[in-house]
């Protein structure tokens, strides 16, 4: 009986770190979708999203580069075959940090468009939640924290 109890404790300690971290199998077509995403021109007017196009055309190259770098980060995680929600959320956090130097220069519509691009990347891998990161980036605060 003591051996069984010890085995249960050891198994619990082994599996405990993975609790709360959903592992996601990479969809078969993810690499094709990442390649398409990276190649497409970004920050163009999109009437479906009510996006008027980039507010400051001078920012387009750096915004595009940052979004494509995030797509590359997602692609690297997807290439592993199985990654956790937390790994993708960390990639989003790091991706948003790339905008920190120019955050004040990005207008509201462009921040919304950046968030929609991140949502596209999340959809490619089936990530359900950014864990508040989209909201933090969009509004520069977390309304769930007081």
Q: What is the pLDDT of residue 9?
A: 43
pLDDT (mean) for 25-50:
93
Token duo for residue 85: 């929600």
Compute CA distances 44 → 29, 57, 63, 124, 131, whole Å.
Answer: 25, 10, 12, 21, 28
pLDDT tens readout for residues 57-73: 999 999 999 999 999 99
Instruction: Give the list of residues 6+ apart from residue 78 with CB closer than 8 angstroms, or none.
Output: 26, 30, 31, 34, 124, 125
More confident residue, 144 or 42: 42
Q: Residue 6 pLDDT > 90, yes or no?
A: no
Q: Residue 47 pLDDT > 90, yes or no?
A: yes
Q: Evaluate the CA torsion angle 41, 46, 50, 52 in order and state its sign.
A: positive
* Domains of the chain in sequence order: 22-139 (1.20.1480.40)
**How confident is residue 81, by pLDDT bands cut at 50, 70 and 90?**
confident
Give the integer Cα–Cα distance in Å for 37 and 34. Answer: 5
């Amino acid at each position: 009986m003591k051996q069984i109890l010890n085995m249960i404790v050891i198994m619990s300690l082994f599996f405990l770190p993975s609790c709360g971290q959903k592992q996601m199998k990479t969809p078969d077509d993810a690499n094709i979708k990442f390649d398409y995403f990276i190649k497409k021109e970004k920050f163009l007017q999109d009437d479906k999203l009510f996006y008027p196009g980039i507010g400051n055309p001078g920012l387009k190259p750096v915004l595009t580069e940052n979004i494509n770098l995030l797509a590359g980060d997602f692609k690297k995680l997807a290439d592993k075959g199985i990654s956790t929600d937390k790994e993708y959320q960390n990639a989003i956090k790091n991706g948003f940090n790339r905008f920190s130097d120019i955050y004040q220069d990005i207008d509201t519509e462009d921040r919304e468009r950046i968030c929609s691009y991140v949502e596209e990347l999340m959809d490619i891998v089936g990530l359900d939640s950014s864990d508040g990161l989209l909201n933090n980036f969009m509004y520069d605060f977390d309304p769930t924290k007081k």
